[in-house]
């Protein structure tokens, strides 16, 4: 039926978020939200709404090729992750790191942050690769799983938006180019994307805040309690937490001699074939290196690379006598099947996205905020609207598609830098992708770090809001200046440090926890 966007348009996503936080049952909460949205769209008919829930909003998600590849990728990620954990490589790597920079809590957190920054080419690879690998040594120095998930999630979607040759960069540049073509604007999409990087205050701020917290130990809020629990009791997650990817260490068979290469070889294979896949699908002969990276199919490359990396992990385990082929194959299958709940969450998240689209959630938020737009308030209002939309829908890519034309059009009309408008939209989109409980990357970060999903969201949100609030002040200054990228960015980073320090000072750790941290 025809559905005019009203305040009711935000009911389904808001219901999903509230229920997920209250019940801690993400699958149930998402399903109820999709069902309620479907009933609304069916004029209140419960039977039609129930039927529509599956056949109009959930199951059609399987028809999307990219969704199919993401589901396959998530499944293969689970298989490879378990292979790395059980072939002895992750443990050998943890032992090696523990003797070096990873022997302290500060060092372990910084190394995890570096791992997240290094895996800049894909938001899908980051949580399922960095999480399990770094968990092997962060557990040893009593870093809580909530902190690990926060570090992983803060680099998952944020880092790829800063690189034009990533899958995210290619998608965003494509959106800009499409808008330029349709309006006849003569700007250069790639140049304007790069010009917008310094205006990504939230993106840059969230990445750097992880480093600041890791080095200084300025934890606060729910994360402070989680870190205190890990430091003082050794409990890496709370009692009763729902851990989707907790693997018990098994005794290695007699004669097994795993080494650090059991992990490094599969990881190297993974990284090499990701780029090989991008070069192949992007036709490097015709488009050159950068053109191939921009035009290649990242999901095809990732799926292929994860399969080959899994094969190499199996072979390394057999060479070092950790297992035979039958045991290795059963381990891989066990890892794949262990991802079932995550797959269900992803499918339901796409379902709620379809409901939001049909209800006009984004349209309502945009139309509500447009009336407040002025040249001075442009940055701040667009940032707030993009944050609300991305948090409500759990999707940053849809936010980019909706807001880039609006923001760029306004910037052109008032003579403001186009790069500024692009950077603001990207930051607002990343906020929701970073911390919404219905975001697929947030779910995968929880899974990869073996952390309770709602605990991850709850502990991360105060940090995300700190960065978002500081970014808002920076955008207000940029709006007043109609530019001033580095001035606004500097203000944002100074505020992040100041707020984190003050919150830690007034609601930070107690003396016992501080002493335990110093000793660690």
Residue 184 falls inside a structural domain: yes
Neighbours of 306 (CB within 10 A): 29
DSSP 360-424: THHHHHHHHHHTT--TTTHHHHHHHHHHHHHHHHS-SHHHHHHHHHHHHHHHHHHT--HHHHHHH
pLDDT of residue 239: 87
Report whether 474 contacts 488 (CB < 8 A).
yes
Residue 356 falls inside a structural domain: no
Q: 281-315 pLDDT, tens per residue?
A: 888 888 887 777 767 777 788 889 889 999 999 99
Task: Kindly tell me the burial class for residue 187, based on how many C-beta atoms sit within 10 Å of its own C-beta (0-12, 13-18, 19 or more).
Answer: middle
Residue 293 falls inside a structural domain: yes
Residue 70 falls inside a structural domain: yes
Over pLDDT 90: what percentage of the chain? Answer: 26
pLDDT of residue 516: 46
**Number of independent structural domains in the chain:** 1
Report whether 300 contacts 281 (CB < 8 A).
yes
Nearest-angstrom CA–CA distance, 191 and 187: 8
Residues contacting 323, CB < 8 A, separation 6+: 86, 87, 253, 317, 331
In which band, very low, low, confident or very high, does the pLDDT at 374 lie, cut at 50, 70 and 90?
low
In which band, very low, low, confident or very high, does the pLDDT at 515 lie, cut at 50, 70 and 90?
very low
Report whether 404 contacts 424 (CB < 8 A).
no
- For Cα atoms 435, 440, 444, give the angle at the middle one, nearest 5 degrees: 90
Q: 7-48 pLDDT, tens per residue?
A: 777 788 778 767 766 776 767 888 898 899 899 999 889 999
In which band, very low, low, confident or very high, does the pLDDT at 520 lie, cut at 50, 70 and 90?
very low
**Chain position carrying tokens 């348009």:** 9
Q: Give the residue-averaged pLDDT of 467-487.
A: 89
Residue 230 falls inside a structural domain: no
Nearest-angstrom CA–CA distance, 121 and 100: 27
Q: 53-86 pLDDT, tens per residue?
A: 999 888 887 887 877 887 887 788 778 878 887 8
Q: 153-211 pLDDT, tens per residue?
A: 888 778 888 877 666 776 677 778 777 876 778 888 878 888 999 999 999 999 999 99
Residue 62 has, within 13 A of its CA and on its CB side, a CA count of 7
Least confident of 32-46, 120-134, 266-280: 120-134
**Chain position carrying tokens 């040759």:** 165
Residue 355 falls inside a structural domain: no
What are the two backbone dihedrals, phi and then psi, of residue 241, each rounded to the nearest 5 degrees? Answer: -65, 145
What are the two backbone dihedrals, phi and then psi, of residue 239, each rounded to the nearest 5 degrees? Answer: -65, 135
State which residues form the domain around 92.
65-193+253-339
The model carries a pTM of 0.73
Residue 370 falls inside a structural domain: no
């Amino acid at each position: 039926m025809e559905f005019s966007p009203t305040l009711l348009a935000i009911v389904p996503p808001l219901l999903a978020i509230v229920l997920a936080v209250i019940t801690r049952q993400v699958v149930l909460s998402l399903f109820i939200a999709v069902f309620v949205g479907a009933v609304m769209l069916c004029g209140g008919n419960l039977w039609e709404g129930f039927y529509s829930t599956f056949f109009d909003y959930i199951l059609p998600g399987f028809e999307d090729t990219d969704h199919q590849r993401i589901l396959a990728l998530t499944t293969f990620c689970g298989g490879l992750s378990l292979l790395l954990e059980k072939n002895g490589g992750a443990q050998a790597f943890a032992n090696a790191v523990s003797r070096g920079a990873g022997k302290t809590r500060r060092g372990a957190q910084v190394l995890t942050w570096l791992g997240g920054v290094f895996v800049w080419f894909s938001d899908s690879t980051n949580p399922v690769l960095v999480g399990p690998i770094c968990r092997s040594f962060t557990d040893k120095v009593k870093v809580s799983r909530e902190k690990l998930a926060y570090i992983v999630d803060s680099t998952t979607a944020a880092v790829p938006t800063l690189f034009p040759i990533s899958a995210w960069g290619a998608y965003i540049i494509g959106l800009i180019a499409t808008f330029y073509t349709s309006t006849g604007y003569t700007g250069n999409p790639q140049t304007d994307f790069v010009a917008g990087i310094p205006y990504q205050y939230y993106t840059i701020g969230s990445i750097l805040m992880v480093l600041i917290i890791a080095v200084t130990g300025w934890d606060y809020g729910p994360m402070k309690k989680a870190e205190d629990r890990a430091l003082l009791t050794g409990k890496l997650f709370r009692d009763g937490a729902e851990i989707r990817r907790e693997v018990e260490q098994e005794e290695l068979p007699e004669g097994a001699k795993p080494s650090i290469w059991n992990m490094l070889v599969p990881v190297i294979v993974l990284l090499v074939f990701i780029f090989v896949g991008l070069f192949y699908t992007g036709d490097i002969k015709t488009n050159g290196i950068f053109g191939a990276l921009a035009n290649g199919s990242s999901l095809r490359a990732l799926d292929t690379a994860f399969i080959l990396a899994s094969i190499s992990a199996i072979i390394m385990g057999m060479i070092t006598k950790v297992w035979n082929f039958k045991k290795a194959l059963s381990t891989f299958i066990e890892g794949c099947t262990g991802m079932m709940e995550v797959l269900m969450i992803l499918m339901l998240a796409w379902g709620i996205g379809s409901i939001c689209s049909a209800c006009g959630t984004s349209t309502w938020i945009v139309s509500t905020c447009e009336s407040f737009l002025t040249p001075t308030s442009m940055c701040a209002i667009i940032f707030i609207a993009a944050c609300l939309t991305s948090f409500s829908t759990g999707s940053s890519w849809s936010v980019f598609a909706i807001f880039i034309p609006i923001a760029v059009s306004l910037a052109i009309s008032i003579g403001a830098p186009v790069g500024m408008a692009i950077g603001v939209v990207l930051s607002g989109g990343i906020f929701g992708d970073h911390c919404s409980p219905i975001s697929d990357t947030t779910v995968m970060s929880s899974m990869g770090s073996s952390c309770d999903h709602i605990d991850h969201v709850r502990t991360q949100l105060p940090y995300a809001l700190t960065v978002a609030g500081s970014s808002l002040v920076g955008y207000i200054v940029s709006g007043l200046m109609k530019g001033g990228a580095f001035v606004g960015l500097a203000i944002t980073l100074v505020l992040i440090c100041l707020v984190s320090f003050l919150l830690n000072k007034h609601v930070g750790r107690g003396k016992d926890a501080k002493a335990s941290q110093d000793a660690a």
